[in-house]
Amino acid sequence: MMVMSTLTALIFGIFLNFTSSQVHFPKISENVACLDGETCTSFRKCEVAFRSWKQFRTQPKSCYFKGKEQFVCCPRSTVAAPKIIEQTISEQKCGYYYPVPFVIGGVDAIVDEFLFMAALRYGAYNGPSNYLCGGMLISPNFVLTAAHCISVNGIRPTHVRIGGEDLSLNGSKDIKVKRIIVHPEYSPDTSYNDIALLELSQMSENLPACLWSDLNPLPKKVIAIGYGHKEFAGEISKTLQKVNLTLFRNSECSQFLEPSTYDNLPNGLLDKQICAGELVSPKDTCQGDSGGPIFTRITFAPKHIPYLIGITSFGSLCASGVPAVYTRISEFRTWIEGIVWND
């Protein structure tokens, strides 16, 4: 998979009450001047700052305090009247899966960080060669993967192995695929809308991963994991591999991904996609990693919460210096939520 081995709502189990005096807002002791394009406004009225604090505990930039009320530097375009910011169903579920405490800090605990990893099996079990794509558990009975993984050489995935296990182990514990749902706008002729869901025939006991929110800034670094080739045209890895990658702006990636060169991108790189890689060091995803995740981890000791950012879609030659392209999960959250949590 990779030449070198090496995704907001973490505190959704605790809800803020906008009308109660028990709401604890972040405070910064030193006042600062706001930049051009920002206005000093009540923290309650700055939706971006409030949500960033609520989900990530990101400290806002304070202008001054008036009594107990904090005023922050807020982008002018985001100032709004006070309102309750509703959580999406996936954010609520994330808080259920990871009921972490309100306090941040402490020593990181060692946890099984890749229990959400899935390997898609095609046909009867016959060792690692039957696992041709990756995926990620996002609820006890749904796995998220790439749409192009739904048919490999005309064969559809029949089972899923969850937990990041060694693929050489007997596949008797693999879970059978009950239903396959491909995004309605996906076409095999392009790499757009390259996303699909697998409904499992039984619940997995593993903890799912959370979905990254499109309202939050992306991290600079992500983790990619998978069972793909360790070198171009190599053999699939029976053990799970991981690598740290850099996220690039689409404008940066577009110079590598001209429509004239990539037939699968006739309209160029779209906002529903994202790219990551390393331009110099030999780190990348490779064949067999398709459908697997790029994600970030946010630590609320003693837990490391995985947040899914992208699905491995396609790339050039492995570790060639050209970033690989991933389906941007946040752009498809409404579609995902309408299927996975439709009750």
Q: Kindly list the catalytic residues.
A: 148, 194, 290
Contacts of residue 52, Cβ cutoff 8 Å, sequence gap at least 6:
58, 60, 216
Residue 147 CA to its chain's centroid (Å): 16
| Secondary structure (3-state) at 56 | helix
Q: How many CB atoms lie within 10 A of CB 206?
A: 17
What is the spatial distance between Cα 17 and Cα 25, in angstroms, rounded to a whole number? Answer: 11
Q: Please, are residues 39 and 73 in contact by the beta-carbon 8 Å criterion?
A: yes
**Cα(8)–Cα(308) distance, integer angstroms:** 11
Q: What is the DSSP string of 77-130?
A: GGB------PPPHHHHHHHHH----S---SPPPP--TTTTEEEEE-SS--SGGG
Strands (E), the chain: 38-42, 62-66, 69-75, 117-121, 131-139, 142-145, 159-162, 175-182, 196-200, 210-211, 221-226, 241-248, 273-277, 293-300, 303-314, 324-328
Angle between helices 333-340 and 89-97 (to 10 degrees): 70
Residue 50 sits at the vertex; the CA angle it makes with 311 and 9, to the nearest 5 degrees, is 35
**Helix residue ranges per DSSP H, the chain:** 47-56, 89-97, 250-253, 333-340
